[in-house]
Amino acid sequence: MLYNSGMNEKIQVIKDVLDFIERSPTSYHASRALTEVLLQRGFAELKEADSWEIEKGKCYFLTRNSSSVVAFRTGTLPLNDSGFCILGAHTDSPGLKLKFDGGSTKSGLQRNSTEVYGGAIISSWLDRELSVAGMAAVRENGKWVRKLCDVKEPVAVIPNLAVHLNREVNKGFEYNKQDHLQAVFGSRSLQEYIADSLSVDSRQLGESDLFLYDCKKGTILDNGLFVSPRIDNLAMCHAVLHSLETSSPSECTQLAVFYDSEEIGSGTYQGADSSFLGEILERIVLASGGTREDFFRSKAQSFMISADGAHGVHPNFSDKHDPLYAPELNKGPVLKMNAMNKYATTSEGAAVFTRLCEQSGVSCQKFITRSDIPSGGTIGAVSSARLGIKTVDVGNPMLAMHSIRETAGTADHLSMITVMKEFYRNGTT
C-alpha cells in the first residue's frame, strides 16, 4: 500500500518534492522553504535567545545558522511518560563551494575557483549549466548583514577539455580540484552576479557562503522514477516535513529535525554533532513545566528515525552490493545497518521500523554494504550518541548518490511518508 490518497494526489506529492528541491539550491534555501511551510501551517517561531512558554497542543519551530531547523507539535501526555517521536534528515547536499575572492581572468574569460563540499561525484558537475546561490554578507549602514541570495539563471560552466586534447579522459581521468574545477563565468565576475541578484553595489559584499548548483529542474519519468538534483537528502526532508504538517496530535510530542552539515561530518554548531537538538529537547521539557529529571526520563522514552538516502542496487553494477542486501527502487523503504556503527540501527531499532512498516502495509528492505566496501554514514549514529536516544537509520533506495543528478522511486517516497505518519500516530508501540 502506498500513501493513502487518490492517484492525482499521489502525483501531486511527487511534484511537491521536485518543487521543494527546486526552491532549495542550498541548505539556507532549504531552511527557508521548510519554515515557510511551517508558518503557513500555524507553527509559531521560537528564538534561542528568548524565554520560552510552551502550550499543550501547539506547534513551534526554530532555526540555527539559517540552515538547520527543528519543528515540533506537543503531545497529549506528559513528556516523561510519552517522550519525543523524532524524525531526522539533513538539508545539505554534496557540491562545489565557490571561493569568494577566487576570481581571475584567463584566456579572456572570468573564472572562479571552487572547493569540493562533501563527497561529490566530480565528473557529473562538468559541462552543466550552473547558477549560484547561498548566503551573502552585505554592508548596510556600517553593519554587516547576512542575505539569502540566488542568481537563478545559468551563469557558469565547468567545461571539460576536448577529447582530442585529453585522449585518456574515457579511461579514468582524475580532475585536479584546484586547476580543473574553476567555474567559467564569461565576461562578468561572481561578485557582479551576486550584487545584481541582491540589488546592491558589489563593493558592499563581503566574504560569503556561495555554492554552484544545477539549474535544470527535476523530472518525473513515466516508469515510476524521478530524476533531480539534491535528492540526497532533500527528498527525505520533504517526507519528514509532509509527515509532520499532515499528522494529527498524538500522545507523544512529534518532532522533526533538519540538520545542516551532514555531508561534511556534522561537526558544526548547527550539525548533528552539536548541542542544537539536545538543548532544544531540554528547553521544551523545562518550558512545559517539567524538571531536569523529567528531561532525562523523557529521553529514555524517546525514539528517533534518521532518514537519509540508501544505495539502491544499480543494474549495471549489481556486483557492488551484497546480493542478500540489495534494495531495489520502488520496493519500499530501507533499513541501513553496519557493524562499525556507521548507521545507528540495532536489532531493537530494526524491529521497531519493521513493525511500523507492517502496520502501514509497506514493504521493508535491508541494506548492509559488501564486507569489502567501506560504509558511508549519516546523522543517525552521531545524533544518537550525542543525545542518548535510541535511533534507527533508514532511507529510500536511489541511484547515482552524490551525483549532480540522482534517481529515486516515486512509490518509495510515498511509502516512506506512510510509515513516518504511522510513527507520529502511534510511536514505537
Q: What is the pLDDT of residues 242-300, one digit of tens each?
A: 999 999 999 999 999 999 999 999 999 999 999 999 999 999 999 999 999 999 999 99
How confident is the model at residue 8, as a pLDDT? Answer: 80
Residue bearing cell 551573502:
136
How confident is the model at residue 223, as a pLDDT? Answer: 87
How confident is the model at residue 2, as a pLDDT? Answer: 38
Task: Label residue 429 by pLDDT band (50, 70, 90).
Answer: confident
Domains of the chain as residue ranges with CATH: 7-93+229-426 (3.40.630.10), 95-214 (2.30.250.10)
Rounded to 5 degrees, what angle do the CA atoms 177, 182, 188 make? Answer: 165
CA count, 13 A, side-chain hemisphere, 20: 28
Q: What are residue 26's DSSP bridge partners?
A: none
Instruction: Please provide the average confidence, as pLDDT, over all residues in the chain.
Output: 96
Nearest CA to 320 out of 369, 366, 278, 271 is that of 369
Q: Give the pLDDT confidence of 351-370 residue by residue, as tens digits.
A: 999 999 999 999 999 999 99
Residue 32 has pLDDT above 80, yes or no: yes
More confident residue, 222 or 394: 394
Q: Give the pLDDT confidence of 50-68 residue by residue, as tens digits.
A: 999 999 989 999 999 999 9
Contact between 308 and 395 (Cβ < 8 Å): yes
How confident is the model at residue 5, as a pLDDT? Answer: 46
Whole-Å CA distances, 366 to 326, 331, 406, 409: 7, 11, 20, 16
Q: Give the pLDDT confidence of 104-119 residue by residue, as tens digits.
A: 999 999 999 999 999 9
Q: Give the pLDDT confidence of 153-175 residue by residue, as tens digits.
A: 999 999 999 999 999 999 999 99
Q: Give the pLDDT confidence of 298-342 residue by residue, as tens digits.
A: 999 999 999 999 999 999 999 999 999 999 999 999 999 999 999
Cell of 422: 504511522
382: left (phi over 0), alpha (psi -120 to 50) or beta: alpha
Task: Label residue 343 by pLDDT band (50, 70, 90).
Answer: very high
Cell of 268: 558544526
Contact between 184 and 177 (Cβ < 8 Å): no
Residue 7 has pLDDT above 80, yes or no: no
Contact between 97 and 117 (Cβ < 8 Å): yes
Instruction: Give the span between the Cα atoms of 238 and 101, in whole angstroms.
Output: 34
How confident is the model at residue 366, as a pLDDT? Answer: 98
How confident is the model at residue 9, as a pLDDT? Answer: 79
Whole-number percent of the chain with pLDDT over 70:
98
Whole-Å CA distances, 268 to 232, 264, 421: 19, 9, 30
Q: How confident is the model over 372-391, as a mean pLDDT?
A: 97
How confident is the model at residue 3, as a pLDDT? Answer: 38
Q: How confident is the model over 417-424, as a mean pLDDT?
A: 98
Residue 132 has pLDDT above 50, yes or no: yes
How confident is the model at residue 6, as a pLDDT? Answer: 53
